[in-house]
Structure 1
Amino acid sequence: MAATPSGFVTATLNYFLEPEHGGDKLYRAGTAGEKRRKYKEAQVHINDVRRQEDNFILDKHGFQLVKSDTAEKTFDDEQRIQTLYYDECAELIKKVTGASLVKPFGHVVRRLSWKAAYDAEKDLPDDARSVGPSNARFVHCDQSYNGSRERIKQVFPEGSEKLDRCRWAYINVWRPFDYPATRDALCFADYASIGEDEIRPITIQFPKRRDSVLVSDENCNNPGAMLENGERDPYIHGPEMVTSEALQCAAPGTPNQHKWYYASEMKPDEALLLKICDSKKGVANRLFHSSFEAESDYGPDRHSLEVRCAVFFEDQPLEE
């Protein structure tokens, strides 16, 4: 994807639609119905960070683009991802943030475009299994403060006491692989440009497999990452909660109200750090993001990988 001469692209993003206008505070992840959810569309300007990458830092803006090559190239081996690549992500976060302990706990590999997934699922019932992970085409932050805290407690129980003792954060590491991302780029909003009054908490409902249909059971945590046929579940990599609190936000009044950015033609030897949550006050503690479609898109479907990490700063006390 090439940026326009003005340094930005214009795109339509999907924002939260208030329930009185047909929106929904429930997001059913991993189902065909998730792509039929209604949103409020808004046209925005998305600025290219190229030639100014060093101006954006994680604690101020909520995101940071870094040079970071990896020994893993194809991301088609679960064991290598969860050992070799998880270790690389942990070391990268420590280097950038100064954190003393980083625990990667889950990942999503995406090789399918949103449109391809939508077309493949158009005749399926809302609660049917999605055909595979595709790029998320709506403005969101993966977890709220409470959602992040509960998620970390679940996947890293031996570190639960650290949540009450030291600074902690939830950070994602995102990168393309196989080739540069020239379509369906990831965009991310400057933390300071979205106000507290614009935030809308939502509930994410994770699926539980029952025969060929996904159903929800709020009394049961989904413990597994394997499907009945022995293949790895494309949505669940390790233990998952049935429900969690995430964030969306209200649409802006003008195209420049929210300060959106992207990295044009992002390469496999680059990584984005995305701050989902941070217990420290006075720093960026969430990041709204989304994939988007632009007229300048070209090339094959984007291949990308996102790793989710629990991050601890054991030398910094928890701020009350």
Structure 2
Amino acid sequence: MASTPLCQRHNVQTTFHYMDLTDPSFSDPVSFPSEKEERKNIANLPGNRKPAVSLPFVVEDISHDLDKYTLDSHGFQIFRHESKLSQADFANDELVKAIYYPESIELLKKVTGASYVYVYEHNSRGPVKPDQDKNIPMQNPCHFVHCDQSYHGAEVIALDRLPDKVFAEKVIRGHFAIMNVWRPVKTIYKDPFACANPHSVVDATDLAPMPIQADDLLEEGWAVGPNQNHRWYFKYAQQPDEVLLFKNFDSEGPVRRTVHSSFIDPQHIDDAERESMELRCIVVFGQKPPGNLLGPPGA
């Protein structure tokens, strides 16, 4: 389908899918196994069939006023940033770890002032890899409103993923964040990524802790309930050099979490599949591991 000229604002009428927090089953642990064959059946694993509520929204295209949307004001921000990796290189996990991790760590330190950043995993969505399996939901865009870590869940991640466990204990007592680096591998038209205005999301009524069983580790994210007052934003035709940084958690920042979701743009529903790369990072302020000793993939 034809795309909107980039000089025009491309707001989208669409639907977002939320959790029904009035149904007690929302609190059953969600299962995210790492084994590939188990992931193929992930939608049918215990706790993974959740009661949903769908609401219509207009998603605002922020292409023409990006400077208004910052990590401190809205919990997300888009930065111009070139990677040395080509589109094909993003299919190579070793190149992603060896080149893209350090690039992203440098970017995060520069824009946040962090003293230490540890990338604990990455996830490609869409047909990035030759063997990408469309039967595995985790390799597809997620059309469900969520936040990856709750406030408690962020501490669980830091304690489990940071290689120096003594340092990890210090981290959770200080200022740290869980931030994602979200980059298009090619220009995004289908299944774009949206963030909700954090000030329109109410902790007490819109969010509820949701346990996540990741193999042997019990993590915790936010289940997000429906609220017609939520306000949604995205960048239309997001380019590979337009990197979205967003906070799943910040222990001290003016914005503590960013609710997000992919969504369907009816104008681009028949376009080529989305291709994107996401890094998940522990961002630490004012502290470094003793001697700055790092276990890969950190810096």
What TM-score do you get using the length of structure 2 for normalisation?
0.81
Answer yes or no: is the 8 Å Cα contact 1:248–1:288 preserved in 2: no
Alignment of 1:91-170 (within 5 A): 91-112=106-127, 121=135, 130=136, 133-158=139-164, 159-170=167-178
Q: In the TM superposition, what is the alpha-carbon distance from 1:20 to its structure 2 partner?
A: 3.0
Greater helix proportion: 2
Q: Give deviations 1:98-140, integer Å, cap 9, x for gaps.
A: 1111111100011259xxx99x65xxxxxxxx37611111000
Give me the whole-angstrom Cα distance separating, in 2, the residues matched to 1:163 and 1:86.
Answer: 21
Q: Give deviations 1:150-188, integer Å, cap 9, x for gaps.
A: 1111111413133245311110000110x2011000011
Answer yes or no: is the 8 Å Cα contact 2:27–2:209 preserved in 1: no
Give me the whole-angstrom Cα distance separating, in 2, the residues matched to 1:278 and 1:180.
Answer: 29
Q: What are structure 2's unaligned runs of at least 5 residues? A: 33-38, 288-299
Answer yes or no: is the 8 Å Cα contact 1:199–1:249 preserved in 2: yes
Q: In the TM superposition, what is the alpha-carbon distance from 1:24 to its structure 2 partner?
A: 5.4
Q: Give deviations 1:196-221, integer Å, cap 9, x for gaps.
A: 121121112225xxxxxxxxxxxxx3
Out of 261, 268, 272, the position equivalent to 1:290 is 261
Cα RMSD, aligned residues only:
2.6
Out of 92, 109, 119, the position equivalent to 1:77 is 92
Give me the whole-angstrom Cα distance separating, in 2, the residues matched to 1:190 and 1:148.
Answer: 20
Out of 67, 73, 79, the position equivalent to 1:60 is 73
Q: In the TM superposition, what is the alpha-carbon distance from 1:280 to its structure 2 partner?
A: 0.5
Q: In the TM superposition, what is the alpha-carbon distance from 1:250 to its structure 2 partner?
A: 1.5
* Aligned residue number for residue 17 of structure 1: 20
Alignment of 1:1-320 (within 5 A): 2=4, 7-18=10-21, 20=23, 23=26, 25-29=28-32, 30=39, 31-33=42-44, 36-73=49-86, 74=88, 75-112=90-127, 121=135, 130=136, 133-158=139-164, 159-177=167-185, 179-197=186-204, 198-207=206-215, 221=216, 241=217, 243-252=218-227, 254=228, 257-280=229-252, 283-297=254-268, 298-314=270-286
* Aligned residue number for residue 213 of structure 1: none
Instruction: Rate the CA distance shift 1:176–1:164 in 2: closer, same or farther, 3 A.
Output: closer
Q: In the TM superposition, what is the alpha-carbon distance from 1:2 to its structure 2 partner?
A: 3.6
What TM-score do you get using the length of structure 1 for normalisation?
0.76
Q: What are structure 1's unaligned runs of at least 5 residues? A: 122-129, 208-220, 222-240, 316-320
Q: In the TM superposition, what is the alpha-carbon distance from 1:22 to its structure 2 partner?
A: 6.7
Q: In the TM superposition, what is the alpha-carbon distance from 1:39 to its structure 2 partner?
A: 1.0
Answer yes or no: is the 8 Å Cα contact 1:173–1:306 preserved in 2: yes
Please list every run of at least 4 consecutive aligned residues from structure 1 whose deviation after the TM superposition is greater than 6 angstroms: 3-6
Instruction: Rate the CA distance shift 1:155–1:3 in 2: closer, same or farther, 3 A.
Output: farther
